[in-house]
Structure 1
């Protein structure tokens, strides 16, 4: 449905990103701050000029087409609701611009507010809405123009944790019933994993990885993606059942040859005060660099021949005396590793 190649120059930064979105598909565009996510969204919406490339929607070339004629709905991060209009008239604004009569546009807007569960706030202005309500009004306004493509720029970023949880569930429900395609720009992996069918990871203006959630989380290809999905990731050279990373030879469960990645979860890293013996495992001397709370456990940052994270219980951390500067041994069983071609 959407076939785009977005090339945008902004000073020394160049965005060069191919994107496709199928009808009924939700694609999440993830990346660190400054990666080019919002620039890509603005280029699709016609708010930022392309230096090269193309945007085609349902086979129609949108080059030179103004934003209001593109058939694209946008939900901005700060929602951009008109402060002087009621929720009803905010939603009716787009249909009015499309040529509907005032009564028809307001009837359509009332229907959309009812769909998103906000019929009771139709007469309120934005300042009288909660964050979650404003987000749903913005979504209704975007959908009321019957777009073929829906763009969502960090739609949950401004919400508190509880409102975010409820609104994420509501957004998932509405996106599931949307016949067009949707592109979600976010830096939150949970939003992406809950809402999207496919992930596209952008760093420094380029796509570094894409695929389904299971594929991306199982085989990260950059440090950013590894941190995103909570894995330790190292690049080395495989020679069958081992991968050499710097000075270490990791025994791995999956045979691999040539340039390769090794990944394992922080929970797979055991920390000892003496070198462990017993079942075959990867071990190395390390130094505790930092300790911070991570859910119910503590995440220990380890320096050494490889920099890794380990998850331990508070009781284990106290027993082992895991404070910054403490010399320890780290161990990971080969069966806990994932290895794959780089």
Structure 2
């Protein structure tokens, strides 16, 4: 592993205790809600937040007692923190100069990096005249200029508008693919994590609650937060063969399990009816509509009953059913649409 860390940070109302590892050439995303401890973990790795316990190893050497400038770590902050009085070139050259490189040599390194990120023509422009996307690329070049073994990115796309974010996300993916050190990315945006990262580490309340590849996390969420993030209804219950009992609801599933289990299905798998449907759908129960909202091309219906539930229906179906808050409906999910796995 390029980096292996156990990070413990104690505060009066919060405790972070997480283990993080990333190999050279790997991008690991720390994903979680606001206040989960993601940025605290990143700052602990960088040496910007003191650790209460644990250790940080980089290429096999302990670095937790070293000051930030001696850790061979590059950081791209959420607001980029470019020096406003320096040109893009001198912003990028700042790190190599601090490492003892001469002015001319540092500027050559900076010019090469600006060219790599497509900003050779903006070398003498100050940050105040750069667009958000350009500033992000200068910040990335500045982080890479110190030849780090670990690159830390704190919400690197959060300050960008939606159109620029799409473009810069694709560019950032290409740059990270060419970086031979380990990268740790902090984000609360599922799409950023899924597109940029090889592996996800989900943090909630200062602890790791799930880790895996993006596809593993999407298929097998283990907390309500992760389920909402990937757009699934998720419940925890007790499995007995092809059934999972969640409170008063007995789910049928194609998987055969015994013991604690999760059952998950997308909102699009939920069918709504004004009256009890004919036939015998295996997963069927009464529910009450809490609220209705537009969700992409569909209408998302929030329901409560024996279990809370999200259902996505087409606008025409919502109109035909005349759905309104407070209305009683029947909700059904086919057994083939549910996915059960061990808890």
Partner-residue secondary structure (3-state), 1:243: strand
* Partner Cα separation in structure 2 for residue 135 and residue 277 of structure 1: 57
Unaligned segments of structure 2, at least 5 residues: none
Shift of 1:279: 5.8
Q: TM-score, normalised by structure 2?
A: 0.99
1:233-258 alpha-carbon deviations (Å, 9 max, x no partner): 00111001111100111111111111
Greater Cα offset, 275-284 or 329-338:
275-284
Is 2:335 the counterpart of 1:341? no
Question: Is the contact between residue 281 and residue 332 of structure 2 (CA under 8 Å) also seen in structure 1?
Answer: no
1:210-239 alpha-carbon deviations (Å, 9 max, x no partner): 001111110000000000100000011100
**Partner in structure 1 of residue 32 of structure 2:** 31
Aligned counterparts, 1:55-94, within 5 A: 55-94=56-95
Question: Is the contact between residue 26 and residue 181 of structure 2 (CA under 8 Å) also seen in structure 1?
Answer: yes
Q: TM-score, normalised by structure 1?
A: 0.99
Greater Cα offset, 304-313 or 272-281:
272-281
Question: Is the contact between residue 38 and residue 203 of structure 2 (CA under 8 Å) also seen in structure 1?
Answer: yes
* Partner Cα separation in structure 2 for residue 234 and residue 49 of structure 1: 38
Question: Is the contact between residue 289 and residue 301 of structure 2 (CA under 8 Å) also seen in structure 1?
Answer: yes
Shift of 1:278: 2.8
Aligned counterparts, 1:32-181, within 5 A: 32-181=33-182
Partner-residue secondary structure (3-state), 2:156: coil
Question: Is the contact between residue 284 and residue 333 of structure 2 (CA under 8 Å) also seen in structure 1?
Answer: yes
Number of aligned positions between the proteins: 342
**Partner in structure 1 of residue 263 of structure 2:** 262
**Partner in structure 1 of residue 212 of structure 2:** 211
Partner-residue secondary structure (3-state), 2:272: strand
* Partner Cα separation in structure 1 for residue 228 and residue 39 of structure 2: 21
* Partner Cα separation in structure 2 for residue 103 and residue 49 of structure 1: 35
* Partner Cα separation in structure 2 for residue 202 and residue 36 of structure 1: 7
* Partner Cα separation in structure 2 for residue 334 and residue 155 of structure 1: 41
Unaligned segments of structure 1, at least 5 residues: none
Shift of 1:11: 1.4
1:248-299 alpha-carbon deviations (Å, 9 max, x no partner): 1111111111111100000000011111233643000001111111110011
Partner-residue secondary structure (3-state), 2:192: helix
Partner-residue secondary structure (3-state), 2:287: strand
1:150-188 alpha-carbon deviations (Å, 9 max, x no partner): 000000000000000000000000000000000000000
User: Over the residues paired in the alignment, what is the CA RMSD in angstroms?
Assistant: 0.7
* Partner Cα separation in structure 2 for residue 62 and residue 100 of structure 1: 23
Shift of 1:326: 1.1
Runs of 4+ in 1 over 6 A off after TM superposition: none
**Partner in structure 2 of residue 229 of structure 1:** 230
Question: Is the contact between residue 281 and residue 333 of structure 2 (CA under 8 Å) also seen in structure 1?
Answer: no
**Partner in structure 2 of residue 320 of structure 1:** 321
* Partner Cα separation in structure 2 for residue 254 and residue 49 of structure 1: 47
Partner-residue secondary structure (3-state), 1:113: helix
Question: Is the contact between residue 38 and residue 186 of structure 2 (CA under 8 Å) also seen in structure 1?
Answer: yes
Question: Is the contact between residue 238 and residue 246 of structure 2 (CA under 8 Å) also seen in structure 1?
Answer: yes
Partner-residue secondary structure (3-state), 1:157: coil
